[in-house]
Structure 1
Amino acid sequence: MLNLSNYIIIALASLSAGAVNSIAGGGTLITFPVLTALGIPAVAANITNTVALCPGYLGGSLSQGKDLLNQKKRLWLYIPAAIVGGLLGGILLQVTPEVLFRELVPYLILLATALLVFQPIVRSYLTRRTKTTGAQPGSDIWGVVPVGIAAIYGGYFGAGLSIIVLAVLGITVDDSLTQLNALKQTIALITNLTAGLFFLFSGMVVWPVALVMAVGSLLGGALGGKLAGHVQPNVLRWIVVVIGLIVATLYFIR
């Protein structure tokens, strides 16, 4: 049974995660370990985390809406892939036994941490690629299957999903980084929203925790937006990377 001090810790963690997500990404590496440390079972913690952080993805998508106006054809291709992938990932999570998922958690955290490490390399590559190609739209159909596979991961765990999707789009779709980033944000939103809606009927969402986290992440996102000009994203990202490595190590020890 969670007490007041536990909810204060959850609120602070989600506030931090919202700020981190808006500046560098990787907020799940803060909130998920906090939930499990407070005694919430790993699968329920992951489900609650997914539901709670959906509003943050919505805010990010709305802020880049103007860059989606000329991408309607792509949205018709990738939104169904995100829906199917997010649903499959959610189903896969729900049927995963608690013991098995706890064994997978440190590896999933290490994967998310590695994605954060390679995030600037991915962005640098995509920036060079779009400049070299002149950012002329290519054949979008090639990205559907990889996006769907990324969405399965997103529905299952989610940490680092945006980095995976951006990398997939950068390799398969020929367009500017600004356009791809907006498309990535929408795909991540749809993936998490699909998984979140599926989880609503799972009976495993810890609703008091989810509500506190939703408010905290929204406030944190707004705070992160104001601090973005004063905080070095690389410094913040490496802090989260160190946290991820420590948390993964603790899970391995346990």
Structure 2
Amino acid sequence: MSTYLEFIFLFIIAIIGGVLNKTISGAWFIVFPSLIYNGIQPVIGNSTTAMILWSEQIATSEINKRNHEISKKNIQFMVFISAIGGFIGAFLLATLSQEIFKKIAPYLLLFSWFLFAFYHQILIYINSLFEDKKNFKYSHWQLIPLFLLGIYGGYFGAALGMLIFALYSFYGVKNKTNLEALIILILLVNNGIAILVYVWSGLIYWPYATIMIAGCIIGGNLGKKFEPKINLTVVKKILSVIGAIVTLYFLNL
């Protein structure tokens, strides 16, 4: 594929990824493989994917600062601990050998695909177990799983938002709008800290990242505008199939 066609291909993929990132998530399943297909090493592909999707989030997300279930101080604790986790995860990605990532990544991808494909059923099951759970009550102990998820976010990151949503649903946060706003804030900070480490370590492939960031932001804005007209159920089924194919491919590498 010529360089000209590569950029067109990646730009189109990024637009689709931006739409997915803004509607049903799962953009990782098409952005990351497209970079690998174009010859990028897995660690750099992972870091560049994070950079592309984070840029779309920060350009198109609106953060609701009001949260009636969690105090501002406690949110600061949550964001801070996730940021520390993100730094550690990114540091591990930058310092451990690429062979370790190649061995671990397919199983992390399998886990993230399973979570994406069966997320609705998982949430229903969790809610059925804790139907009588009281309202959310903050505890510092709750930060431990968030810290571990933060490390995961800095090292790999696919489906991190879903994991945090499930965690705080379990903790008793009932207002979906509050929870989604909290997750956006945590993801922006966690991924932002990780990306600083990636940039410092030279793990971003800028020729592709630049064109795909532009495409992803365009896609994100299109996703915001046309989300009510998109059949998200059908799109998720299609992406689940694509994710399964991508996962099987990497498991067989």
TM-score exceeds 0.5: yes
Indicate the residue corresponding to 2:44 in structure 1.
Answer: 44
Structure 1 residues 190 and 126: CA distance shift in structure 2, 3 A: farther
CA distance in 2, matches of 1:37, 1:174: 40
Please state if 1:162 is matched with 2:189.
Answer: no
TM-score when scaled to structure 1?
0.90
Indicate the residue corresponding to 1:193 in structure 2.
Answer: 192
Q: Report the more deviating stretch, 205-214 or 125-134.
A: 125-134
Aligned ranges for residues 75-224 of structure 1 at < 5 Å? 75-124=75-124, 136-224=135-223
CA distance in 2, matches of 1:122, 1:67: 28
Q: Report the more deviating stretch, 144-153 or 166-175.
A: 166-175
Deviation at 1:111, TM superposition (A): 1.2
CA distance in 2, matches of 1:127, 1:9: 41
Q: What is the aligned length? A: 252
Please state if 1:234 is matched with 2:233.
Answer: yes
Deviation at 1:35, TM superposition (A): 0.3
Deviation at 1:130, TM superposition (A): 9.3
Counterpart AA for 1:216: G
SS in 2 for 1:74: helix
User: Where do 5+ consecutive residues of structure 2 fail to align?
Assistant: none
CA distance in 1, matches of 2:105, 2:2: 22
Counterpart AA for 1:98: Q
SS in 1 for 2:25: coil
Indicate the residue corresponding to 2:16 in structure 1.
Answer: 16
SS in 2 for 1:201: helix
SS in 2 for 1:158: coil
SS in 1 for 2:51: helix
Deviation at 1:129, TM superposition (A): 8.6
Structure 1 residues 2 and 208: CA distance shift in structure 2, 3 A: farther
Structure 1 residues 133 and 209: CA distance shift in structure 2, 3 A: same
CA distance in 2, matches of 1:59, 1:71: 26
Counterpart AA for 2:138: S
CA distance in 2, matches of 1:90, 1:35: 19
- Superposed CA offset, 1:118-146 (max 9, x none): 32134446777998557x34124232111
Deviation at 1:170, TM superposition (A): 1.4
Q: Report the more deviating stretch, 68-77 or 164-173.
A: 68-77
Indicate the residue corresponding to 1:244 in structure 2.
Answer: 243
CA distance in 2, matches of 1:132, 1:65: 28
CA distance in 1, matches of 2:101, 2:138: 37
Indicate the residue corresponding to 1:4 in structure 2.
Answer: 4
- Structure 1: 4+ residue segments shifted above 6 A: 126-131
Contact 1:143–1:173, Cα closer than 8 Å, also in 2: no
CA distance in 1, matches of 2:24, 2:156: 18
